[in-house]
Amino acid sequence: MRDGTGVPVVLDAMGGDHGPAETVAGAVLASREHGVPVVLVGRAGELRAELARHGAAGEIGVTHAPEAVPMTERGPDALGGGTSLAVGCELVRRGTGGAFVSAGSTGAVVACAVRVLGRAPGVLRPALAVALPTVGGGATVLIDAGATSDPTPEMVAQFAVLGVAYAREVLGVAEPVVGLLSIGSEPGKGNRLARRAAELLPGLPYRFHGNIEGHDVLAGTVDVVVTDGFTGNVVLKNVEGTVRAALAQVAAEGIASPDRLAEVARRYDPGTHGGAALLGLNGTVVVAHGSSRAATVARACAVAHDLARGRVRLGLAP
């Protein structure tokens, strides 16, 4: 498989709540505004019609896939060989595409990517990594943000390794500090999963801060926040919702200018970071938010293109 440099991003045009209307528009934006080459995967007739609406016929490649995975599907039962997910991942596996992007069901995307691309050597389970802005102007990697809801403690410890690689390669942090999300900062706090993971993490060749709490996630206390996918996804969506609610209250009180509030909101908007990187695979995969509109899809394609060129996939070696 190639490293992704110079080959197009493969976009699941059938995924997401808004389907081809937004994904195709996003592909056009990615190509024209970000300079990212894109190949669309889905029902060719529908996709070419959408491309024609944007005056982009012949500008972006199309690979036919007759089936689409419904957003309600969560696992391997939906993954026939003719789905846009399976066909898209196969293009990346063959080296025809440098990275794969989908706004489809996270569970289905993860299951398909694992089956077609395979886990990188030594990886127990892949994990979703998202960089969240911190109050100091930097960013913290949240991992796992939703790929594996019920991991083992060993998997959680390995998520830290993947998160450290992401912090180093994407955020440029030389010596990332890892924190384990729990219900208290004191040793021994948390459920059985957290307590056992806390025993494993100090044995890794990275700086382990110890337990952190929910209010530390955006404080910049650590560079990598490690947790299970269920908790991580709740945290991610809670952050997005809390920021919106808080800014709405500030706006209603007239405390800050609308322009300043809009800038803060933009930093935490899913459309800004584009999507979550699915780390630990033999290939680059980015999972965009299911409600993604064209601008978010375009950003996800740009993120995937950058990740593929940087080959940020594994990071198991210290």
* Per-residue pLDDT reduced to its tens digit, 185-198: 998 899 999 999 99
Assess contact for 286 and 278: CB atoms under 8 A: yes
C-alpha to C-alpha distance for 148 and 69, rounded to whole angstroms = 19
pLDDT higher than threshold 50 for residue 2? no
- Residue-level pLDDT at 254: 81
- Residue-level pLDDT at 290: 86
- Residue-level pLDDT at 74: 67
Phi, psi at 213, each rounded to 5° = -110, 175
Same CATH fold assignment for domains 1-123+280-318 and 125-271: yes
- Residue-level pLDDT at 29: 95
- Residue-level pLDDT at 270: 63
Q: How confident is the model at residue 80 (pLDDT cuts 50, 70, 90)?
A: confident
Assess contact for 76 and 115: CB atoms under 8 A: yes
Rg (CA), the chain: 19
Q: How confident is the model at residue 289 (pLDDT cuts 50, 70, 90)?
A: confident
Between 235 and 269, where is the model more confident?
A: 235
CB atoms within 10 A of CB 70: 11
User: Which range among 5-14, 171-180, 257-266, 306-315 shows the weakest confidence by mean pLDDT?
Assistant: 306-315
Q: How confident is the model at residue 313 (pLDDT cuts 50, 70, 90)?
A: very low
Q: What angle do CA 222, 103, 98 make, to 5 degrees?
A: 80
What is 85-140 written as a DSSP string? Answer: HHHHHHHHHHTS-SEEEE-S-HHHHHHHHHHHH-BPTT-SS-EEEEEEE-TTS-EE
pTM attached to this predicted model: 0.88
> Which residue is associated with the tokens 């680059």?
284
Which CATH number describes the domain made up of 1-123+280-318?
A: 3.40.718.10
What ranges do the domains of the chain cover? 1-123+280-318, 125-271
Q: What average pLDDT score do residues 215-226 get?
A: 94
Give me the chain's average pLDDT, please: 88
Q: What average pLDDT score do residues 302-312 get?
A: 80
> 270: Cβ–Cβ under 8 A, 6 or more apart, which residues?
240, 288, 289, 291, 292, 296
CATH fold group of domain 125-271: Isopropylmalate Dehydrogenase (3.40.718)
- Residue-level pLDDT at 54: 94
User: Which range among 16-30, 39-53, 116-130, 271-285 shows the weakest confidence by mean pLDDT?
Assistant: 271-285
